């Protein structure tokens, strides 16, 4: 098991990629704390899945856009499990909207949840890891959208580029403490975040046709790469970004 005896924290862990990562971490031997914001049923289901795997689980409610949520999440996890070994910064939103009439509050909320939230969470987790004194691993869920644009994502893609960049700079700032920082860059993964956008079957098929592996992603496709980067198998990997997109990015023509 890749995460035997570790404590893993995941933001936005009540659905999608975060839920898949949380459950896989438990399958790999970790106790897991998830942050969630509104989906109580989803959080309860993830806790139940983790416990069914014989591991301890904790769900802590909070809006990642607020700095105090980060501090409270890490404190609650330490109170329950004594330490933080792995932190997965995953929570995010993507309210698709055209650029020219983007409401300021849509732009600002997307920045606050996706980028400010990741910064505060990673900072709080890193301070706990530094205090423990024996290193750790941080994995942030960025996106293929850190590298390419989207017409209705002008507020969103900069947050994903920012998260990718945050991991690079944090890798430098935290390397001396033995804390590794990496990001995963998912392609299009079928989750709640894009359920409406991909409800149009024609668009979904067009997107899938661009993927060399021939299908859109599932949340579980991210679980292995996240666990790998979190584990000692990746002990000399830091500041890296791992595309998990079925080959979509390289498929120019």
Ligand X SMILES: NC(=O)C1=CN([C@@H]2O[C@H](COP(=O)(O)OP(=O)(O)OC[C@H]3O[C@@H](n4cnc5c(N)ncnc54)[C@H](O)[C@@H]3O)[C@@H](O)[C@H]2O)C=CC1
Query: What DSSP line would sit under 36-64, residue for residue?
Result: ESS-HHHHHHHHHHHHHTT--EEEEE--T
Give one word for 44, left, alpha or beta, with left for phi > 0 and alpha for psi -120 to 50.
Answer: alpha
Does residue 194 belong to the site contacting ligand LFPNKLMZ (CB under 6 A)? yes
Respond yes or no: is residue 160 known to be catalytic: yes
End-to-end CA distance of the chain: 40
Question: Would you tell me how many other CB atoms lie within 10 Å of the CB of residue 172?
Answer: 11
Among 128, 194, 231, 238, binds ligand X (CB under 6 A): 194
Among 15, 39, 89, 188, binds ligand LFPNKLMZ (CB under 6 A): 188
Does residue 143 belong to the site contacting ligand LFPNKLMZ (CB under 6 A)? yes
Among 29, 95, 150, 239, binds ligand LFPNKLMZ (CB under 6 A): 150
**Do 13 and 39 touch, CB atoms closer than 8 A?**
no
HEC string of 109-149 equals HHHHHHHHHHHHHHHHHHHHHHHHCCCEEEEEECCHHHCCC
Mask: binding to ligand X, 92-121, rule CB under 6 A, as x and -? xxx------------------x--------
Q: How far is the CB of 128 from ligand X (least distance, A)?
A: 19
Among 193, 211, 223, 248, binds ligand X (CB under 6 A): 193
Does residue 15 belong to the site contacting ligand LFPNKLMZ (CB under 6 A)? no
Respond yes or no: is residue 120 known to be catalytic: no
**Do 248 and 211 touch, CB atoms closer than 8 A?**
yes
Binding site for ligand X (CB under 6 A): 11-12, 14-18, 35-37, 39, 63-65, 90-94, 113, 141, 143, 186, 188-189, 191-194, 219
């Amino acid at each position: 098991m890749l995460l035997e005896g570790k404590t893993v924290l995941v933001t936005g862990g009540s659905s999608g990629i975060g839920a898949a990562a949380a459950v896989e971490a438990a399958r790999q031997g970790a106790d897991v704390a998830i942050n969630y914001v509104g989906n109580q049923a989803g959080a309860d289901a993830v806790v139940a899945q983790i416990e069914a795997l014989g591991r301890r689980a904790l769900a802590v409610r909070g809006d990642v856009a607020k700095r105090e949520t980060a501090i409270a999440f890490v404190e609650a996890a330490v109170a329950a499990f004594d330490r933080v070994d792995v932190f997965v910064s995953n929570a995010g939103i993507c309210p698709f909207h055209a650029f020219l009439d983007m409401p300021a509050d849509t732009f600002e909320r997307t920045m606050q949840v996706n980028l400010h939230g990741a910064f505060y969470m990673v900072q709080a987790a890193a301070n706990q890891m530094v205090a423990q004194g024996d290193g750790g691993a941080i994995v942030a869920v960025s996106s293929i959208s850190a590298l390419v644009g989207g017409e209705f994502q002008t507020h969103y893609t900069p947050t994903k580029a920012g998260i990718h960049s945050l991991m690079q700079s944090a890798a430098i700032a935290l390397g001396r403490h033995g804390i590794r920082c990496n990001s995963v860059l998912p392609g299009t993964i079928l989750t709640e975040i894009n359920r409406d956008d991909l409800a149009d079957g024609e668009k979904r098929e067009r997107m899938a046709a661009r993927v060399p592996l021939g299908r859109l992603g599932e949340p579980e496709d991210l679980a292995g790469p996240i666990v790998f980067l979190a584990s000692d198998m990746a002990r000399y990997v830091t500041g890296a970004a791992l595309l998990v997109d079925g080959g979509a990015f390289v498929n120019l023509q």
